[in-house]
Structure 1
Amino acid sequence: MKASIIGGGSIGLLFAAYLLRSGMDVSLIVRRKEQKGAIQNDGLKLKSRNGQFTYKPDVHILSEVESIEADILIVAVKSYQVADIKSEILTKFEQTKSILFVQNGMHHIKFLPDLKNHSVYLGIVEHGSLKESDTCIRHTGVGQTKIAPYIDGHSGINWEQYSTDSFSFVHHHDWYEMLSKKLHINSVINPLTAILGVENGRLLDHPDWIDLMKKLSAESCRVLHINENDAWEDLLTVCKNTSLNKSSMLRDIESRRKTEIEAINGYLVELASQDQIELSNHEFVYKMIKGMEM
């Protein structure tokens, strides 16, 4: 089985390292020549609880390749970058049967119907990872990758066969249920931790912060049509289980990078406006993050 991975960030590097470790033939496709050269020279280093490992994937620059043969394409770029590379996916991976998208939020869903000639899967990644350099990824928290079919999905791929103790794949039957539950959690934890500058667990330290969480959670549940009580319990569990983690949005703000606020809270605000639902708290945190990005 041959896999191509678009994305040289923390998730792309994590997938590349573990799929190489499982014995899969992996091509890593990055944006910058500097990163390509560094990985070719030094290899891809994985730091995990089981030790430190170095792998040598094939590395390419997306803009420089005409086509790449692969059984699976994993798109691990940020949600706001999916639109920019859609045409290249359509042309350069025309023969690739299966494509897996692992973005935060649900904004990228609007670009997927054009991929009707492929088996398209959606995934959510529950691992903790930290990109220490262009060539080094630290696996900070073991979780799972949940995968659900979006278009067709009958490609014959058994994702779970590539699972290991440290990097497992789990099949989910309903992509909307899977993504909406994750979106609800991200829409509360990500903007609040980024605005307050705190780790996930710190949100539970102050009653006023918990009140903000409840208001954001209730609004998310209303527009996503999910059970409010169950969603709140899931949110508390994630905060406790990832108490020492920094959200991806907080890391983006600290590193002066563009965030995925458009794909998370922005998507909810857009969805609510179509149904004439007011999301005052989400509109507030959305504007706060947009201002902090600048």
Structure 2
Amino acid sequence: MKILVIGAGAMGCLFAGRLKAQQADVLLYNRYNTHVEQINQSGLVIVERDDKETTIPLKVVQAVAKEDGYDVVLVLVKAHANKAVLEPMRESFSPDALFITMQNGLGNLETIKELFPNNPSAAGTMGCGASVESDGRILHRGWGKNYIGPVEETAAQEKLLDFIALLNRSGLQTDVAEDVQTVIWNKLFVNLAYNSLTALTRLRNGDILNTDEGQDLLRNVVREAAQVAERIGVTVDAEQTIANCLRMGREDIGANKSSMLMDVLHKRKTEIDAINGAVAKLGKRHGVETPYNDLITGIIKVIEANYDLQVD
């Protein structure tokens, strides 16, 4: 099985690196930068839970072609970059290539289906977490289970199961999600709970919970999203969902720096439109008030638009 991982951020590196360590035929795709240069020259360093370091030889490419013959294409770029990155690749894969998105937020699978209508595709979520510490070096700091939804085509489903088996052998615990929409929303609740709040406060995930005010903000953001999810037909136990988000921050992902925090620290565009912004947009469409998500989305957008004017 030949695998292409699109996006050499923390999660793309974690998945590609773990797969490569199992001798999988895997390449990363990313625009050229110093992080990519370091990986190509010296390999990818993954720092695990016990601070043990593994260096994995890995290749990052800047071009793909149909004759490369990829069986699985795992999309892990930021949600807002989907069209810009994927559209130039529309003729670069055979119709047999299985596309899998495990990105944050809503709408990713729909974009892939629009760009690659003749390819099988599946959506999933990641329970694991990672962050880029420096060029060519990532910290593995979340260890939850990953889920990927089924595909309709029999051949593609067999390919998906083979890919999931490979992820499990690599140590990235993954299972098939029969109800992928519920799984996507459950991951969205965690992203809502931590991404924007850590970006605003510049704290690690778990430190959001150090104060009653931080916990209350988390509860309100997630409770609004649960109301929106219920309105569109996704069954949610709001209080249990909030309890799970709090538990994850205390036990599983507390030490992690969220991707949105890293985007703000590096003055990059964030995924706010696919996370809190998506909840606010759906709320307006379906008559559900979302004042907390509206406000947080607005503040993040103000920050994004004014990086150059920030006071040191």
Q: Under a length normalisation based on structure 1, what TM-score does the superposition of the two structures give?
A: 0.90
User: 8 Å contact 2:6–2:30 — kept in the other structure?
Assistant: yes
Higher mean alpha-carbon deviation, 32-41 vs 75-84, is at 32-41
Find the counterpart in structure 2 of residue 218 from structure 1.
223
Query: Aligned equivalents of 1:161 and 1:250: distance in 2?
Result: 32
Q: How does 1:7-26 map to 2 (within 5 A)?
A: 7-26=7-26
User: 8 Å contact 2:150–2:178 — kept in the other structure?
Assistant: yes
Task: Indicate how the Cα distance of structure 1 residues 50 and 211 shifts in structure 2: closer, same or farther if over 3 A, else same.
Answer: closer
Gaps of 5+ in 1: none
Matched, 1:228 2:241: no
Find the counterpart in structure 1 of residue 310 from structure 2.
none
Task: Indicate how the Cα distance of structure 1 residues 57 and 199 shifts in structure 2: closer, same or farther if over 3 A, else same.
Answer: closer
Find the counterpart in structure 1 of residue 99 from structure 2.
99
1:285 to 289, 296, 302: 296
Find the counterpart in structure 1 of residue 209 from structure 2.
204
Find the counterpart in structure 1 of residue 260 from structure 2.
249
Query: Aligned equivalents of 2:154 and 2:282: distance in 1?
Result: 26
Matched, 1:271 2:275: no
User: 8 Å contact 1:80–1:108 — kept in the other structure?
Assistant: no
Higher mean alpha-carbon deviation, 262-271 vs 193-202, is at 193-202
Report how many aligned residue pairs link the two structures. Answer: 292
Query: Aligned equivalents of 2:89 and 2:174: distance in 1?
Result: 23
- Measure how far apart 1:34 and its partner are: 4.7
User: 8 Å contact 2:130–2:141 — kept in the other structure?
Assistant: yes
Query: Aligned equivalents of 2:154 and 2:295: distance in 1?
Result: 38
- Measure how far apart 1:197 and its partner are: 2.2
Query: Aligned equivalents of 1:59 and 1:45: distance in 2?
Result: 14
Query: Aligned equivalents of 1:45 and 1:207: distance in 2?
Result: 37
Find the counterpart in structure 2 of residue 237 from structure 1.
247
Q: Could you list the per-position Cα deviations for residues 117-137 of structure 1 after superposition, in whole angstroms to 9, with x for gaps in the alignment?
A: 222121212222122334222
Q: Could you list the per-position Cα deviations for residues 84-136 of structure 1 after superposition, in whole angstroms to 9, with x for gaps in the alignment?
A: 12323421123442111121111323313323322212121222212233422
Task: Indicate how the Cα distance of structure 1 residues 189 and 112 shifts in structure 2: closer, same or farther if over 3 A, else same.
Answer: same
- Measure how far apart 1:37 and its partner are: 4.0
User: 8 Å contact 1:128–1:140 — kept in the other structure?
Assistant: yes
Find the counterpart in structure 1 of residue 119 from structure 2.
118
Higher mean alpha-carbon deviation, 47-56 vs 113-122, is at 47-56
Greater strand share, 1 or 2? 1
Percent same amino acid at aligned positions? 26
User: 8 Å contact 1:122–1:148 — kept in the other structure?
Assistant: yes
- Measure how far apart 1:247 and its partner are: 1.9
- SS for the counterpart of 1:118 is coil
1:160 to 164, 169, 184: 164
Higher mean alpha-carbon deviation, 75-84 vs 273-282, is at 273-282
Q: Could you list the per-position Cα deviations for residues 5-42 of structure 1 after superposition, in whole angstroms to 9, with x for gaps in the alignment?
A: 11111111111111111121112111116555433321
- Measure how far apart 1:179 and its partner are: 0.5
Task: Indicate how the Cα distance of structure 1 residues 197 and 33 shifts in structure 2: closer, same or farther if over 3 A, else same.
Answer: closer
User: 8 Å contact 1:98–1:120 — kept in the other structure?
Assistant: yes
Task: Indicate how the Cα distance of structure 1 residues 50 and 286 shifts in structure 2: closer, same or farther if over 3 A, else same.
Answer: closer
Query: Aligned equivalents of 1:84 and 1:61: distance in 2?
Result: 14
Q: Could you list the per-position Cα deviations for residues 199-223 of structure 1 after superposition, in whole angstroms to 9, with x for gaps in the alignment?
A: 2223333223322222212210011
Query: Aligned equivalents of 1:153 and 1:134: distance in 2?
Result: 40
Task: Indicate how the Cα distance of structure 1 residues 41 and 96 shifts in structure 2: closer, same or farther if over 3 A, else same.
Answer: farther
- SS for the counterpart of 1:91 is coil
- Measure how far apart 1:61 and its partner are: 0.4
Q: Under a length normalisation based on structure 2, what TM-score does the superposition of the two structures give?
A: 0.85
User: 8 Å contact 2:6–2:29 — kept in the other structure?
Assistant: yes
Matched, 1:128 2:129: yes
Task: Indicate how the Cα distance of structure 1 residues 36 and 165 shifts in structure 2: closer, same or farther if over 3 A, else same.
Answer: closer
Task: Indicate how the Cα distance of structure 1 residues 99 and 290 shifts in structure 2: closer, same or farther if over 3 A, else same.
Answer: same
Task: Name the aligned partner's letter for residue 274 of structure 1.
Answer: R
Q: Could you list the per-position Cα deviations for residues 156-179 of structure 1 after superposition, in whole angstroms to 9, with x for gaps in the alignment?
A: 121332113732222111110000
- Measure how far apart 1:151 and its partner are: 5.8
